[in-house]
Structures are given as C-alpha cells and as structure tokens.
C-alpha cells in the first residue's frame, strides 16, 4: 500500500564512462498488397483482368543515435542520476539483449538524459519501454498511480528547461500494454540542438515504481530519397504507394528505395490465373411467388450463391418476393483459379408473377 510520496530534487548527476556511437544511414523497404487473396507475403493470386493494389513502407533514415545498451553503458554522452541496472534484472528484454533498468538504487526524481543532437521537426525518436508489474518484489515493482509514469521530454537550452513530448500513465499498474516491452515512436516537435530525457518525478520510494528502456533510436530523413517501382521492363511508379496494377500476365514488381549511396529493394509477385468458367443449374427463368424452393448446383463445385431468396444453395421464391432479381454464383480457389465475390460471375434473371 502506498503511504507516502517523495518529491526530492537532486543537485548532481552520476556520469558513466561512455563509448562513442557512430552516425549512420541505412535503407529498408517492404512491399505489400491490399489484395485479400494473398497466399504469402511475396506472392498474390489474381484472376485475369482483376486489379491489385501495391504499396510499400520504409526509407533511408540517417541515425543520429542507435543505443541498445549492449556495450554495458547507458550511451555515449548520456547521463543519469538513477544508477540504471544493465544486468536484465526483470527478465529478458524486447530482443533478448541487455536493457537499461531504472531500479531500487534510484534517486528522485529519476531521469535518463541524452547528449544534444541536431534535429529538425522531420526527425523521430523511437524506443522500447516497459513498466514493472505493480506488486512484484523490488527491483521489479511497477508504478500504478496516475502520476508515477514516465515523461519523454526535450530541452533546447542544455537541460535548464524541459518540455513534455509525451507521458505514459501506468493505468493501475497491471495494463499489459505497459507491463510488457512495447515500441514507442514520437515526432520531434522542434528543430535545433536538442537534448532528450526520460523523467519520472513521482515515486513511492526506492523499492517501488521501476521501469526500463531499450533500443533508443533518433533518426531523420535523408536530404534526398527516391522510391521506384519496376515491373521487370519499365519503371512504373515513383512513390511508396498505394497504386493499382492490372497485369495481363504473371508479373514481378520490385520496389527500390535509395538515398544516392545506400539502397534496398523488395519484391512482390502478382500471379495472374485464368478466370474460371462458371455456371450453375437448377434455376428457372420465371417463378410464381408460391412455387416450391429450387436446389441449385454450381460448377465448379464449392462456390457460393448470392441474391434474394438464397439460403446456401437453395432458392426460395416466396422469400425473394415479387420482382426481377439477380442470382450470382461466386467461386474462389487459390490453388487453381480465383474470382472474388465483388462481381457476379454468372447471373440468371427471372421475373416473379402472382401465378
């Protein structure tokens, strides 16, 4: 049970020996399709004449910081008053490697502070974070009260003034979103020489309200970046997408992202299959509204009937009601051929009368 709160400001920081991180750029790109007929991540199947929507995600960001804590320090130029633990005291990290854990040796308020980075509002900061679960033993006892969470803040004046980017409420201390490792990405709201810190200003004491960080990345888009889609013959699109293609035959599409020095590509294959020859029997062209139900048979077997008065493969004139109706038969088989239910493959019109 919580019986008191500590609000103590420290006049000093504990600095750690650090290893310099290298500025780096790398490219990544993944191709996707919006088609609901995807058989796997690299190939989709379509009937001849059908469309596929392609798009991609990725880029060639310049990494100002990529800190995974695996070298046994909290980061080049970083500082903390919270004596972060680097021995994974509360189970494995998000990727099974070392993380920085703010545990019971902490002073108050607890903070982990970066060095300054030259950023713009086009940059992002991403990191993995986990709160310990409320009620566990120290050093794995988690925050639970609304004000015991962690702030992500920035400073433009060398750490004199700090402004919130975001705050994560513990939500009672047992929220699985907070008590498991999750990745968070925030847009950097300012440009200039900026420091960042994770800041916990309220706790219930050294043995309470612990949390950890891992895989901190600060990155910005490159000055120039190109995205190109190629269909094996021509360059056909010059952005991430989405865009629509209607290939007449099976086609391999390659998307490439480049910053002029580095590049990466990914591939998606649109396998075009001949449209099936669909038909069905058992439906007359006209019915009296009180006529008995009719059993329909589709070819090839295994498709789905749609339309007024249809239940399974049975048509009931009384349920359809008086009028002119369209009955459709739709077939889908990814291993042989395919047609979506978006259009009627075979239709038979009939007019009901009172008979």
DSSP annotation string for 235-281: EEE-SS--EEE--SS-EEEEEEEE-SS-EEEEEEEEEEEPPP--EEE
Task: Please report the pLDDT score of residue 227 as a whole number.
Answer: 96
Q: Report the pLDDT value the prediction gives residue 139, as an integer from 0 to 100.
A: 96
Structure tokens given for 134: 């409320």
- Name which residue leads in pLDDT, 184 or 7: 184
Indicate the pLDDT class of residue 1, thresholds 50, 70 and 90: very low
The pLDDT of residue 353 is 36
- CATH superfamily of the 26-60+223-273 domain: Immunoglobulins (2.60.40.10)
333: confidence class by pLDDT, cuts 50, 70, 90: low
Q: Could you tell me what percent of the chain has a pLDDT over 70?
A: 84
Mean pLDDT for 130-157 is 97
Other beta carbons less than 10 A from residue 62's beta carbon: 16
List Cβ neighbours of 128 (8 Å cut-off, separation of 6 or more). Answer: 93, 94, 99, 181, 182, 183, 184, 213, 214, 215
Angle at 222 between CA 221 and CA 226, to 5 degrees: 105
Show me where the domains of the chain are located: 26-60+223-273, 63-220, 279-353
pLDDT at 354: 31
pLDDT value of residue 96: 93
In whole angstroms, what is the distance from residue 170 CA to residue 192 CA?
A: 31
CATH number of 63-220: 2.60.120.260
State how far the Cα of 192 lies from the Cα of 155, in Å rounded to an integer: 10
Q: Which pLDDT tens digit goes with each residue over 267-286?
A: 999 988 877 778 888 888 88
Instruction: Give the largest CA-CA distance in the chain.
Output: 96
pTM for this entry: 0.62
Q: How many residues does the chain have?
A: 355
d(CA 228, CA 255): 6
Alpha carbons 132 and 103: distance in angstroms, whole number: 10
Provide the pLDDT confidence category of residue 211 given band limits of 50, 70 and 90. Answer: very high
pLDDT exceeds 80 at position 260: yes
pLDDT band at 351 (very low <50, low <70, confident <90, very high): very low
User: Average per-residue pLDDT in the chain?
Assistant: 84
Which of these, 137, 141, 131, 143, lies nearest to 203 by C-alpha position? 143
pLDDT at 38 over 60: no
Q: What is the pLDDT of residue 199?
A: 98
Report which secondary-structure segment, H or E, holds 320: helix 317-320
Strands (DSSP E) contained in 87-221 are 100-102, 110-113, 117-119, 124-131, 150-155, 163-168, 182-187, 192-200, 211-220
pLDDT over 60 at 100, yes or no = yes
Q: What band does 215 get if pLDDT is binned at 50, 70 and 90?
A: very high
Using pLDDT thresholds of 50, 70 and 90, give the confidence band for residue 350: very low
Segment 12-41 shows an average pLDDT of 55
């Amino acid at each position: 049970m919580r019986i008191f709160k500590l609000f103590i400001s420290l006049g000093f920081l504990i600095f750690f020996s650090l290893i310099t991180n290298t500025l780096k750029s790398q490219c990544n790109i993944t191709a996707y399709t919006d088609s609901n007929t995807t058989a796997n991540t690299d190939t989709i199947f379509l009937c001849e004449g059908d469309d596929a929507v392609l798009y991609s995600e990725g880029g060639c960001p310049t990494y100002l910081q990529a800190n995974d804590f695996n070298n046994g320090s909290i980061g080049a130029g970083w500082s903390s008053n919270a004596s972060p633990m680097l021995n994974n005291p509360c189970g494995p990290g998000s990727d099974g490697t070392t993380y920085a854990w703010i545990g019971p040796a902490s002073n108050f308020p607890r903070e982990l502070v970066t060095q300054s980075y030259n950023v713009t509002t086009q940059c992002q900061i991403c990191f993995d974070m986990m709160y310990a679960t409320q009620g566990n033993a120290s050093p794995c006892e988690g925050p639970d009260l609304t004000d015991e969470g962690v702030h992500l803040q920035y400073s433009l004046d060398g750490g004199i003034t700090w402004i919130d980017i975001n705050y994560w409420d513990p939500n009672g201390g047992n929220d699985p979103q907070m008590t498991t490792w999750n990745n968070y990405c925030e847009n950097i709201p300012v440009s200039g020489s900026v420091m960042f810190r994770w800041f916990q200003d309220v706790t219930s004491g050294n043995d309470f309200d612990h949390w950890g960080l891992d895989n901190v990345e600060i990155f910005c888009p490159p000055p120039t970046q190109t995205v190109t889609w190629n269909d094996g013959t021509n360059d056909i699109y010059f952005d991430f997408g989405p865009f629509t293609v209607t290939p007449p035959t099976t086609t391999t599409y390659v998307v490439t992202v480049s910053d002029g020095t580095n590049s990466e590509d990914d591939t998606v294959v649109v396998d075009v299959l001949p449209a099936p020859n669909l038909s069905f029997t058992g439906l007359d062209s006209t019915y009296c509204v009180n006529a008995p139900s009719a059993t329909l048979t589709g070819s090839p077997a295994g498709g789905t009937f749609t339309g007024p008065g249809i239940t399974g493969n049975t048509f009931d004139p009384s349920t359809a009601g008086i009028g002119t109706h369209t009955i459709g038969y739709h077939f889908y088989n990814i291993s042989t051929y395919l047609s979506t239910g978006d259009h009627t493959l075979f239709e038979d019109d009939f007019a009901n009368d009172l008979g």
